[in-house]
Amino acid sequence: MSAYHREIKPWEELTIIDDYMFKLVMRHKRFCKRLIEKILNIKIRDITYLEEEKSLKMKYDSKGIRLDVYVEGDDTIYDIEMQVRDYGDQELAQRTRYYQSMIDVDSLARGALYKELRSSIIIFLCPFELFEQNRHIYTFRNLCIEDKNLELNDGTTKIFLSSKGTANDVSPDIKAFLDYMNGLPAADDFIKEIDACITKTKTNHEERVSYMTYEMKMREAHDDGRAEGRAEGREEMASNLAIAMLRDGKPIEEIIKYSHLSEARIQELAKQL
């Protein structure tokens, strides 16, 4: 029996804070563009989706990431993440650092020079409290410790939005979006459009099937990962046991009996001592 116990959330119950539905909504350029404009209080000429579901992977064996909404507009790269799970402030900060590094490496891999790296803004939408400051919005850029008026100007910005904030620090339309994340009714025309889009999407049979397929694949990947982890753990324990027995001068036959490793593997371990 699988050790994976998380129930698949019914398609009919998905909201804007569910990863799958958030991506479906942000697939509509008018919503994605307007949300970025509202958060940053800017006007964007146009946005282009670099990929519908962008995955970045280093050439060496490292942790890959999947960006929720990865777009570029007016020579700036925007990554918008619906970060439902509260990893804690420190890990969330480190996640933005990792996302930033992967975005830059991806740009360089496509031929950009260091001086040609475009500005990038990573936005985390969080339905939980952040940084114990009761704010709705936190914007981070690299500043000089000795002179806070001196900015590094490396083109990177990280923004965290918390739907649980209580300060009067965001515009009414952003507050309406954050309230909508909290499950409150749509309060303005923009949010009502998003809500109508979600309602209509839920009637799409193909999207429903795609969602169920996606969730099943996620579950299978999780189960496979746990099984692989258990197998690796057993292999490590067996190898450690064999090494200890080799150091004690135990015969190969006895080591095979207790470690269940092959003679060839034991010989490999012996060469490492």
| The pLDDT of residue 256 | 86
Q: Say whether pLDDT at 75 is over 50.
A: yes
Cα–Cα distance between 185 and 206 in angstroms, integer?
27
The residue that leads in pLDDT, 46 or 110, is 46
> What is the model's pTM?
0.72
Mean pLDDT of 123-134: 93
Is the Cα dihedral 86, 64, 178, 162 positive or negative?
positive
Res 163: pLDDT: 94
Question: Please, are residues 104 and 113 in contact by the beta-carbon 8 Å criterion?
Answer: no
> What percentage of the chain has pLDDT greater than the value 90?
35
State residue 121 phi and psi, 5-degree precision. -130, 120
Minimal CA–CA distance to 56: which of 10, 104, 118, 9?
104
Whether the pLDDT of residue 229 is over 70: the answer is: no
CA distance 192 to 200: 12
Tens-place pLDDT, residues 24-40: 999 899 999 999 999 99
Contact 99, 70 (CB under 8 A): no
